[in-house]
Amino acid sequence: MNAATETSETLSVVVEREVPYPVEKIWRALTTPHLIAEWLMKNDFQPVVGHKFDFKEDWGSVACEVMEIEPQKTLSYTWGGYGLGSLVTWTLSPTARGTHLRMEHSGFSAGKKHAAFYQGAKQGWPKFLANLETLLAKAE
């Protein structure tokens, strides 16, 4: 399910999926730099609150900082650059068939200032999650 929600003056992109893999396997893919590079972008991520890192691609980079970590449950980091101060939050919940995976990218202003970034996130995150699912299917 992909949804856009509006709260007061900001917009969020939310992508949720139930995936047939254990929380531990998904957590590893969300927090291990070489695995993140396979489904999202090159990075110098470390799962440590306060760690500043970059996602890098041919078009440029995104400056980020780890804000919250609750192992195998929640991961949150800023998603900066180009004047965009947004937040990506991953939430993992075990289910009978695997894991409920929820990604929320929040903090887009409802005006024109962030319109292109918001549209890019709406199109990009479902693709990134599809890449993540492909990685999970082939790993181990």
CATH number (domain holding residue 45): 3.30.530.20
Domain count for the chain: 1
Residue 7 pLDDT > 50, yes or no?
no
Beta bridge partners of 90: 75, 103
**Residue 75: predicted pLDDT:** 98
Round to whole Å and give the CA distance between 29 and 55. 15
Q: Indicate if the pLDDT at residue 116 is higher than 90.
A: no
Give the span between the Cα atoms of 120 and 101, in whole angstroms: 21
Average pLDDT, the chain: 91
Question: What value does the mean pLDDT take over residues 14-18?
Answer: 96
pTM, to two decimals: 0.89
Provide the domain limits for residue 125. Answer: 2-138
| Cα angle 83, 101, 44; round to 5 | 50
pLDDT tens, 46-91?
Answer: 999 999 999 999 988 999 999 999 999 999 999 986 667 899 999 9
